[in-house]
């Protein structure tokens, strides 16, 4: 830390109690100056020779008083700053440093200790010290800027604040290779930053300064000054957006409490709200300038600290632009007090909506407080990541017994058109909802299962689905059919001709077709299959697979074609026989399961008896 010593005489100031200061000399004091609650017993001559303000005040006092009293309660810096000025007038040794120089400068200005009063006066000496030492030092500049807050508006009017801002911003914007001063840095450095990079062939190179070297030191500033520093840094346009974003993240982590609980009230709540609003305003406009997890944390804090809608919408828009970077744990935001659900699904809905809006609008109009940001093209890879993210989120949210089907459906439908390599995650979410909500109606169960495409289920998911007693019969049949189709194609055979009774249960099938041997109602198709029916389906499926395998050993071309045709007819007949059995069993079973409530209860008991083998996996 830089310092400057003024004067050569020994310090003769004495203290009596807490509020009396005097100079211990043989000469009697002839003036009393009250500064705040402290009395200074001093001599006129040394003071009046340096201060034009004291000359004026003494001239106004009553000349009849032998011991004149002057009140100057509004001196900036208070008694401590005034004492520095007085010692300078007496020629006593006084030490100036980054912590007291601003107060001394403001007090000297108040006392009018200018060059016009006396050559080499205090104002001039402090200005030389500020310019030649303080503002050339990185850490001293930060300390000085921090002390200016308690000395407003004097420090602002004397341009000390602006000079401090420019000093700090200029140093932060410099090429890191030119940084030669000390700084605080606790982040683990990269090998290339500490000179031990293995690619240097063991040769120790000069230690590199990281580009974010200035981030931690600025965390000591008050938010008002921090805002102005970051704004000044950004205005110089030499620091990349990701470094500015990292600085904002470091400051937020240091200043905001880790948890938002009900204990934060009153003034603290307003303080933290102001901090969140300020950080949001400072975020660079570039996409990915700040991590998505940090933006979501800011969004959570804006809700907890009751920020305005403008701030919440801006943060939601920023998160939506890079939602593919989010983690499921980030999205599990607790619902506000008073709501029956566990998680706040409305926020996630808004985030997905903002993600979708990037392509819908050619240009997004932002609020006046924030810069306008033009949307970028959303790749299929990003959409696929968001789809998988929401699938996993829905599986977690579905565990909530109070989650309405409408909210689950609405969020799932928002990403239904996104490309997915597999629908296993969506199947897991649907299965979890069916498990935790066994009393939903047949029509609701049907709507829910329409969200997934059975053709995009993996073999493992299909294996689980055909044993899942929570799924409607229609879905189980579709899974069986598409699994058989996949097995047939893998064996090099053509798809078998399907009876009308099967086509009615497949996507795009003709319900009530005249070619169907038997007509089945939607109520039959949407019913939950029994354990016996599922066992019959699995046995027939295994038989069909064995028939597929038997055709692989045929080598003669014409014989292959003939047997393929025969095999396809056999498969169609077998599937027709399979579903005939299924319907006959269902007719017998329907007498005992006509009501929707009893059906749900059966599903519940079946759920308790069976466990989901893929529950720990992520489809």
Q: How far apart are CA 292 and CA 297, in angstroms?
A: 9
CB 102 within 8 A of CB 160: yes
pLDDT in tens, 20-48: 998 888 888 889 999 989 999 999 999 99
What phi and psi, each to the nearest 5 degrees, are found at residue 95?
Answer: -110, 125
Q: How far apart are CA 156 and CA 302, in angstroms?
A: 31
pLDDT in tens, 107-116: 999 999 999 9
Q: How far apart are CA 424 and CA 388, in angstroms?
A: 9
Q: How far apart are CA 354 and CA 362, in angstroms?
A: 13
Per-residue HEC secondary structure of 590-602 comes to HCCCCCHHHHHHH
Confidence of residue 459 (pLDDT cuts 50, 70, 90): confident
Q: Identify the CA nearest to 297 among candidates 347, 227, 239.
A: 347
pLDDT at res. 563:
52
DSSP tag of 532? H
Within 10 angstroms of residue 94's Cβ, the number of other Cβ atoms is 20
Paired residues of 559 in beta bridges: none
Token pair 């049949």 in the structure block, residue: 477
Q: How far apart are CA 571 and CA 557, in angstroms?
A: 21
Q: How far apart are CA 570 and CA 575, in angstroms?
A: 8
Best-predicted range by mean pLDDT among 133-147, 329-343, 440-454?
A: 133-147
Own/partner pairs, 305-314, CB within 8 angstroms, 24+ separation:
305/260, 305/264, 305/269, 305/272, 305/273, 305/276, 306/269, 306/273, 307/273, 307/276, 307/277, 307/280, 308/277, 310/367, 310/369, 311/276, 311/277, 311/280, 313/367, 314/280, 314/366, 314/367, 314/369, 314/370
Q: Structure tokens of 272?
A: 């933290």
Q: How far apart are CA 612 and CA 616, in angstroms?
A: 9
CB 132 within 8 A of CB 64: no
Residue 243 CB contacts under 8 Å (≥ 6 apart), including other chains: 211, 212, 215
Q: Identify the CA nearest to 428 among candidates 405, 406, 410, 412.
A: 412
Residue 289 has pLDDT above 80, yes or no: yes
Mean per-residue pLDDT of the chain:
79
31-35, 291-295, 321-325, 361-365: range with lowest mean pLDDT: 361-365
pLDDT in tens, 84-103: 999 999 999 999 999 999 99
What is the pTM assigned to this prediction?
Answer: 0.76
DSSP string, 379-407: PHHHHHHHHHHHHHHHHHHTT-TT--HHH
CB-count exposure of residue 14 (10 Å: 0-12, 13-18, 19+)? exposed
Instruction: Tell me how far the alpha carbon of residue 319 is from its chain's centroid.
Output: 7
Q: How far apart are CA 134 and CA 138, in angstroms?
A: 8
pLDDT at res. 202:
52
Please, what sign has the CA dihedral across residues 567, 573, 574, 579?
A: positive
What phi and psi, each to the nearest 5 degrees, are found at residue 186?
Answer: -105, -10
Within 10 angstroms of residue 193's Cβ, the number of other Cβ atoms is 18
**All domains in the chain, ordered by first residue:** 3-132 (3.30.710.10), 466-609 (no CATH)
DSSP tag of 324? G
CB 98 within 8 A of CB 1: yes
Q: How far apart are CA 217 and CA 618, in angstroms?
A: 43
pLDDT in tens, 244-273: 999 999 999 999 987 655 566 667 888 999
DSSP string, 240-304: -HHHHHHHHHHHHHHHS-SS--TT--HHHHHHHHHHHHHHHHHS-SSTTSS-HHHHHHHHHHHHH
Confidence of residue 282 (pLDDT cuts 50, 70, 90): very high
279-293, 322-336, 573-587: range with lowest mean pLDDT: 573-587
pLDDT at res. 371:
45
pLDDT in tens, 168-198: 999 999 999 999 999 998 866 544 444 444 4
| Element containing residue 95 per DSSP (H, E) | strand 94-97
Give the angle subtended at the CA of 498 by the CAs of 496 and 504, to the nearest 5°. 150
């Amino acid at each position: 830390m830089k310092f400057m010593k003024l004067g050569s005489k020994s310090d003769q100031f004495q203290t009596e109690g807490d509020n009396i200061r005097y100079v211990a000399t043989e000469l009697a004091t002839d003036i009393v100056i009250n500064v705040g609650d402290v009395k200074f017993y001093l001599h006129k001559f040394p003071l009046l020779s340096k201060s034009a303000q004291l000359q004026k005040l003494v001239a106004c006092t009553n000349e009849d008083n032998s011991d004149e009293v002057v009140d100057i309660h509004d001196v900036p810096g208070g008694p401590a700053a005034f004492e520095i000025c007085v010692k300078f007038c007496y020629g006593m040794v006084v030490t100036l440093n980054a912590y007291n120089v601003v107060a001394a400068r403001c007090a000297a200005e108040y006392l009018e200790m200018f060059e016009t009063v006396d050559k080499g006066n205090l104002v001039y000496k402090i200005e030389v010290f500020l310019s030649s030492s303080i503002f050339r030092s990185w850490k001293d500049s930060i300390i000085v800027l921090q002390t200016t807050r308690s000395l407003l508006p004097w420090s602002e009017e004397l341009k000390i604040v602006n000079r401090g801002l420019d000093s700090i911003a200029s140093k932060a914007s410099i090429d890191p290779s030119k940084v030669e001063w000390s700084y605080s840095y606790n982040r683990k450095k990269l090998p290339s930053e500490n000179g031990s990079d293995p690619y240097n062939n063991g040769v120790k190179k000069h230690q590199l300064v990281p580009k974010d070297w200035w981030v931690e030191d600025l965390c000591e500033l008050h938010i008002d000054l921090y805002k102005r520093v970051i704004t000044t840094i950004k205005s110089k346009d030499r620091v990349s957006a990701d470094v500015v974003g990292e600085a904002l993240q470091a400051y937020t982590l240091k200043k905001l409490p880790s948890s938002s609980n009900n204990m934060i009230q009153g003034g603290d709540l307003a303080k933290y709200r102001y901090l969140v609003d300020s950080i949001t305003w400072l975020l660079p406009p570039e996409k990915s300038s700040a991590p998505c997890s940090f933006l979501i944390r800011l969004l959570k804090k804006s809700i907890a600290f009751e920020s305005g809608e403008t701030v919440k919408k801006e943060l939601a828009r920023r998160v939506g632009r890079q939602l593919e970077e989010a983690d499921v744990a980030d999205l599990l935001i607790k619902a506000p007090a008073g709501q029956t659900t566990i998680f706040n699904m409305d926020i996630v809905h808004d985030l997905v909506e903002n993600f979708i809006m990037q392509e819908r609008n050619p240009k997004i109009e932002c609020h006046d407080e924030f810069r306008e940001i033009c949307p970028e093209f959303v790749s299929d890879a990003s959409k696929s990541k968001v789809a998988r993210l929401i699938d996993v989120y829905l599986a977690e949210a579905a565990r909530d017994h109070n989650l309405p089907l409408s909210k689950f459906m609405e969020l799932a439908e928002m990403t239904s058109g996104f490309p997915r390599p597999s629908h296993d995650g969506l199947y897991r979410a649907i299965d979890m909802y069916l498990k935790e909500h066994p009393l939903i109606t047949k029509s609701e169960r049907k709507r829910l299962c329409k969200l997934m495409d059975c053709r995009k289920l993996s073999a493992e998911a299909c294996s689980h689905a055909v044993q899942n007693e929570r799924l409607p019969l229609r879905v189980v049949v579709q899974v069986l059919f598409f699994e058989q189709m996949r097995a047939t194609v893998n064996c090099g055979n053509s798809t078998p001709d399907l009876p009308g009774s099967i086509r009615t249960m497949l996507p795009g099938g003709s319900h009530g077709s005249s070619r169907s041997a038997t007509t089945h109602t939607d109520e039959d198709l949407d019913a939950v299959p029994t354990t016996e029916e599922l066992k019959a389906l699995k046995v027939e499926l295994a038989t069909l697979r064995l028939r597929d395998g038997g055709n692989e050993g045929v080598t003669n071309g014409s014989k292959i074609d003939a047997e393929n045709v025969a095999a396809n007819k056999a498969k169609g007949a077998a599937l027709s026989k399979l579903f005939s059995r299924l319907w006959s069993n269902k007719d017998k079973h329907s007498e005992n399961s006509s009501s929707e409530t009893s059906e749900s209860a059966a599903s519940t008991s079946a759920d308790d008896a069976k466990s989901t083998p893929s529950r720990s996996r992520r489809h």
